[in-house]
Structure 1
Amino acid sequence: MWKSATVVAASVALSGSAYAAEVQCNLSAADARTAGAGCARAWMDHNLKLNDVVTVGTHNSYKTELQPAVLALLRAASPAGADRLDYRHRPLSEQLDAGARQLGIDVYADPQGGRFLAPAGLRAAGLALDPARRAALAEPGFKVMHVPDIDVLSACVTLRVCLGIVRRWSLAHPDHAPILLMFNAKSDAAAFPGGTGALPFDAAAFDALDREVRAVFPPQALITPEDVQGRYPTLRDAVLHDAWPTLGASRGKVLFALDEGPEKVALYRGARRALEGRVFFVNTDEHSPVAAYLTLNDPVADGRRIRAAVTAGFIVRTRADADTVEARRNDGQRRGAALASGAHFVSTDYLWPEPRFHNDYQVRLPQGAAVRCNPVRTAVRCAGLAVEMPVADDGGYLAAEAVPDGLRILPPPPAKDSPRAIADRQLFAATRRMEGSPRWKLATDDVKSDAFTHFACALGVWLTPQTAPAVARLLDRAGVAGVVDPGKRFYHVLRPYIGLDAPICEPKTEHLAGNGDYPSGHAANGWMEALILAELAPDRATEILARGRAYGESRLICGSHSLSAVQAGWLAGAAATAALHGSAAFRDDLEAARREMAVVRVGAPTPGIEMCRAEAAALAQAY
């Protein structure tokens, strides 16, 4: 029986100002469409459980293209075997952006490091690993690849890096529907003469695997077997009593499943009564006391069983295609059966069509949705509406894999009552005395000013997007959010003014309060802009960089950020700028902007002498 409830949904809107538009949502409505205008999301979050939705995922999601020389070697030995390995995926973040909410990862134990440094198949094909990949393979810890010796090129070499990509994407998209990471714990013998076999997965390896996951994903980011089991005597009992968390409670979270047979599942479970303390759900049959997740890969042969398991409450993963067969034939029968079966996670090797096959075979949900309501459990009540659509392209230069990991680069914020925290509070109090001063006014102006305005005196010219479009486009497309936002969402540090009756130089809006202190996005963006502009006008680099530092300090004087947050922002801005130079598109645009800057500075108007004198005097004011 659906709970009767009414909520008020708030939206923020127009022209940069935030105000609440109250909407009454009837969460006990018969379906999402009749819950009220703008209320479908709230209705779904309240009424749907994690197992009431479906999504498309990818199989061996880390896999990149086989080198042509290796593929030729394999094809000479077995054309059919080569075909089975001849598929590729785009980067993990691109798959997630496109709507995949399930990823498959093969892990190999390598506690000492270096086990897979000499792939025999590559050696036979006259190839060698690149230095960066060799360095990653030399590190102790779990490795990610398809088949040692022959199919070794992964989008992320180590498990820690793969997990970090997903974690950063999740932090950057905190409202995403839950993501399933499905693991195979590989222990295969060598697949190539003279090659390297996998180490066996024993209890110690599984313990290490759990630790590796927990090192990247904190408890609040995970959905674990214990979370679902709660007070029920077994996990199976919980599932059969609809104990999965709601969609709303699952957003922004990740769950893990071990897709293995009984022997490895028994090793992973150990002597536990259930899966207490474990990260992974495990593949079982419907009668096991730890039954919650089932891998049923053939939606044609297993269609009836899938439907029954889904109806009972179990989560099911199936496959829309395998071994490149369906894609090569452009055969949608298995895909259709998978999408109609009710399986929650439908895996494919073809989230996008493969151009080499000269057909349009791919696997997506209707309307291109990332997540839809389950056709067996909830389709009618969702009234045909999507639960989640794919992420729109932000137009930036960097894919997620190329964005520096701010959580690893930046130091953590000061611990409560540590010397750094005390210094932050003291500096906040001291700078409140600057209210009304010229430096306070400049900090106020810096809140909303654009780069051409706050760097005008430093550059010595007034530029506009109309007079310097290439420079404007470069600064607009470059960004620091990928480095800054994960830290804000991970640490949730309150801004320094919260809880105090003290002035700051900008309105104390709900948006400002909800957007964490650490690190400072303004400071990061200002320092990035300064570094880029200093490259475009090297004769003014000192003035530009000094103003970039002062722009960050304006956040401290304003009272919107602590000194620690500003300092972390500068570091984030530097990291983002360094990474941008790895983008060919950025470098091309940088050169175009450099040529434009050389021309436009000749005839551009100069900022007023009095304005620049006033700015210099304000910046000279000590704090």
Structure 2
Amino acid sequence: MRQATAGLIAAGALLSACAGTPAALRPQAVHVATPETKGYLSGPRIQALADAVPPPPVAGSPTDLADKARSARFKTLEDSDRWLLATAHAELRPPLALQHFDCTLGVRLGSATTPNLNRLMQRLFHDSDAAAELAKARGFRPRPVGDDPERRPCQRVSEAGRKSASYPSGSSTVATVYGEAFAALEPQRATEARRTAHEMGLSRLVCGMHYPSDVAAGETLGKAVFDAASDAPGFEADLAAARTELAAARATGLTNPGCASERVALATPLP
């Protein structure tokens, strides 16, 4: 049963290759951004958002030790259904990553033509990814898989990826921005959209790619990035165009066949 469920999770998510935010973790073959794609925010605005992120926990501090203790407990989920869902959540770039919200929204975005939605999310990805990378450059904290070379990640990770910075979680930053965007697109499903974004952040704990404080900081940064982007010129027009496409996708009546297995995976108690 577990293997059948795991297959549905992988198929339902259409995971083609695991990817993380740092360049060292990105398989370029599935990068869908065009060279001219830009975000909503200026460089100085992104830098200011990054500068507002508090420094990472000091090594050996109570917070650091608590992070490491909880991270170690997540090893018990290796090869579980929740672990395999985390492998799917590792893909963060539009349009593939948007399908993580299929079950929450009751649509099948992989079967829909949504260029405006994709563009909206790509621009938000640009801003959130850039902010997280600038914040990471201000204070290095190793990843769980970097602190423990024997730790199994749930995605393919190079040596450079293992040694890349963990704080704040760029994955959580991006996921939170997506969740806020879908909450704005469909306010009646806002709670569910934000919950899905949070689960994507928790997946990084399951994967051994981030510590709890990294994820929490990424979520805070993601909300700040979205708030700033939502005030930018052109954002409301892009949101309206994406909302029309999302409604059209729902009108097809198609849903993601992996939703049942996703519910099983999300029901797994976390340590």
Which one of the candidate residues 94, 98, 106 is aligned to 1:452?
A: 98
- Contact 2:83–2:206, Cα closer than 8 Å, also in 1: yes
User: What is the distance in 2 between the residues matched to 1:424 and 1:614?
Assistant: 29
Does 1:436 pair with 2:79?
yes
Structure 1 counterpart of 2:145? 497
SS across alignment from 1:590: helix
Deviation at 1:455, TM superposition (A): 0.8
TM-score by length of 2: 0.80
User: What is the distance in 2 between the residues matched to 1:424 and 1:13?
Assistant: 23
Deviation at 1:404, TM superposition (A): 6.0
SS across alignment from 1:503: coil
TM-score by length of 1: 0.36
User: What is the distance in 1 between the residues matched to 2:172 and 2:75?
Assistant: 19
Partner amino acid for 2:170?
G
Q: Deviations over 1:303-338 (max 9, x none)?
A: xxxxxxxxxxxxxxxxxxxxxxxxxxxxxxxxxxxx
User: What is the distance in 2 between the residues matched to 1:498 and 1:396?
Assistant: 31
SS across alignment from 1:486: helix
Distance change >3 Å, CA 443–CA 579, structure 1 → 2: same
- Contact 1:488–1:516, Cα closer than 8 Å, also in 2: yes
Does 1:427 pair with 2:74?
no
Structure 2 counterpart of 1:416? 59
Deviation at 1:598, TM superposition (A): 2.4
Task: Using the aligned pairs only, state the percent identity.
Answer: 33
| Structure 2: gaps of 5 or more residues | 1-23, 30-34
- Contact 1:432–1:504, Cα closer than 8 Å, also in 2: no
Partner amino acid for 1:488?
K
RCO comparison, higher one (Cα < 8 Å, 6+): 2
User: What is the distance in 1 between the residues matched to 2:237 and 2:225?
Assistant: 17
Larger strand proportion of the pair: 1
Structure 1 counterpart of 2:245? 596
SS across alignment from 1:491: coil
User: What is the distance in 2 between the residues matched to 1:406 and 1:14?
Assistant: 23
Deviation at 1:441, TM superposition (A): 0.8
Structure 2 counterpart of 1:398? 41
Distance change >3 Å, CA 14–CA 620, structure 1 → 2: closer
Partner amino acid for 1:16?
Q
Partner amino acid for 2:232?
S
Which one of the candidate residues 238, 249, 263 is aligned to 1:616?
A: 263
RMSD of aligned residue pairs (Cα, Å): 2.2
SS across alignment from 1:458: helix
Structure 2 counterpart of 1:488? 136
User: What is the distance in 1 between the residues matched to 2:177 and 2:245?
Assistant: 19
Distance change >3 Å, CA 435–CA 470, structure 1 → 2: same
Does 1:537 pair with 2:186?
yes
- Contact 1:463–1:604, Cα closer than 8 Å, also in 2: no
Larger helix proportion of the pair: 2
Deviation at 1:427, TM superposition (A): 1.1
Partner amino acid for 1:433?
T
- Contact 1:537–1:597, Cα closer than 8 Å, also in 2: no
Q: Deviations over 1:174-223 (max 9, x none)?
A: xxxxxxxxxxxxxxxxxxxxxxxxxxxxxxxxxxxxxxxxxxxxxxxxxx
Q: How many residues align?
A: 236
User: What is the distance in 2 between the residues matched to 1:546 and 1:584?
Assistant: 28
| Structure 1: gaps of 5 or more residues | 1-11, 18-391
Distance change >3 Å, CA 536–CA 485, structure 1 → 2: same
Distance change >3 Å, CA 571–CA 404, structure 1 → 2: farther
Deviation at 1:482, TM superposition (A): 3.1
Asked which structure has the greater CA Rg, the reply is 1
Distance change >3 Å, CA 529–CA 510, structure 1 → 2: same
Structure 1 counterpart of 2:225? 576
Distance change >3 Å, CA 425–CA 535, structure 1 → 2: same
- Contact 1:406–1:486, Cα closer than 8 Å, also in 2: no
Distance change >3 Å, CA 545–CA 516, structure 1 → 2: same
